[in-house]
Amino acid sequence: MGLPEPSLVEIIAPSLWVALFLILAPLPWQWTGDDAPMASTLRGVIQALPWMAALTLGVLLLLGSIGEPMPWGWMGPGMGQGPGMMGRGGPHQGMGMMGRGGPRQGMGPRVDGSRILPIHPRLWALGVAHLCFGLLLGWILADRERAELQEKASRQAMNEAQSRVLQGQMNPHVLFNAISGLTELVREDPVAAEAALVNLSDLLRALLTHGSRLLAPLGDERRLVDHHLALERLRLGLRLRESWDWPEALDALEVPPLMIQPLVENALKHGVSKAVGGGALEVKVAREADWLHVRVANTGPAPSDMKGQEGHGLRNLRERLSLLGAPDDALRLRREGDWTIAELRLKVKV
């Protein structure tokens, strides 16, 4: 078409603009001044127009500074430099005509070749196109991110609702097991049964306050476990031998509730209480970086199938861990010698 070959700068300019716009174009649409993920259409346009204009101009100046300059004016290279019109006196420069007083210097103002256009006209056209493209791209990317955030918030709300339902199922489950243990205590030791009823009321109160939250201090979980063990101490007596390694410095950590209590309950129900001479219970809680490690171990008969021995409490715990996005190995059960060991890993804030 007779056009000059594009320079290297003009070849890479579109890719440079696209790369910058993918990162910077959505920003003005996300300046809302509140918690909304995206500004309204009118506010977004008002914010995006000067932002994209400044960005486009900056890129144009950058490209112009490293590109080839062009003369000002409508005359291209070579115009005014070739042979002019022939007069009586011979060849003359430019478009001038020979007069009596000598050659005239063109028909218009003389072009000053020292003045240059810092930005090629083709880059200006490209800049206008990319300004419009940037406005549209910014709106599309910001709207897509808004939709993703809303979808993520909806999934989180659904998971929280399911987690609350599962936590609500734990309350009657814990009470059912506690009351089942009291029935035989009433026949064997009525005085101890009366004390157990007092402990049962404390356990119920702790369940109502602790189990209704999505996050709670670890110290509340300790008190809930202690209320549950108070009932088991009355029922099992010397058959229960406890060992604790739970630093009080960790009690302020925020964790999902009813995470350790099911492990302790499972150890007592399927391990210690089934052994003729009772058994030992070890509870260890430690922190490593941003992970909380819980280990509940008990002696007693070895279950034939670790998965098959999981009751309602452990199944409920696994489902809640899955809803919280915990890794698949967050809860592990294994047999080690005479001990059945349950290990739990929870993510905590540093």
- Alpha-carbon separation of residue 84 from 104, 107, 108 (angstroms): 11, 12, 14
> Which of these, 104, 215, 106, 238, lies nearest to 167 by C-alpha position?
215
Which pLDDT value is given to residue 284? 96
Contact 326, 347 (CB under 8 A): yes
Instruction: Collect contacts of 201-206 with beta carbons under 8 A, ≥24 apart.
Output: 202/227, 202/230, 203/174, 203/175, 203/178, 203/227, 203/228, 203/230, 203/231, 204/175
Which pLDDT value is given to residue 309? 56
Q: Considering the domain 189-347, what is its CATH architecture?
A: 2-Layer Sandwich (3.30)
pTM of the predicted structure, to 2 decimals: 0.56
Ranges assigned E (strand) in 91-180: 98-99, 102-103, 116-117
* Residue 256: HSE in the Cβ half-sphere, 13 Å Cα cutoff: 21
Which pLDDT value is given to residue 30? 82
Contact 343, 295 (CB under 8 A): yes
Which pLDDT value is given to residue 293? 96
DSSP class of residue 2 equals -
Which pLDDT value is given to residue 7? 73
| Location of structure tokens 């005085």 | 191
Contact 267, 340 (CB under 8 A): yes
Compute the distance between CA of residue 238 and CA of residue 72 in angstroms, rounded to an integer. 101
- From first to last of the 350 residues of the chain, give the pLDDT tens digit: 566 677 776 677 677 767 777 788 888 888 887 777 788 878 888 888 888 888 777 777 776 665 544 443 333 344 444 444 344 444 444 444 344 444 444 444 444 444 444 556 666 776 777 778 778 878 888 888 888 887 877 777 776 666 666 666 666 667 676 777 677 677 777 777 777 777 777 777 777 777 678 888 999 999 889 888 888 888 888 889 999 999 999 999 999 888 998 899 888 888 888 888 889 999 999 999 889 999 999 998 876 555 555 677 788 888 888 888 888 889 999 999 889 999 999 998 75
Radius of gyration of the chain (CA): 40
Q: Where in the sequence of the chain do the CATH 3.30.565.10 domains occur?
A: 189-347
Compute the distance between CA of residue 246 and CA of residue 60 in angstroms, rounded to an integer. 64
Question: Taken in order 210, 235, 182, 307, is the CA torsion positive or negative?
Answer: positive
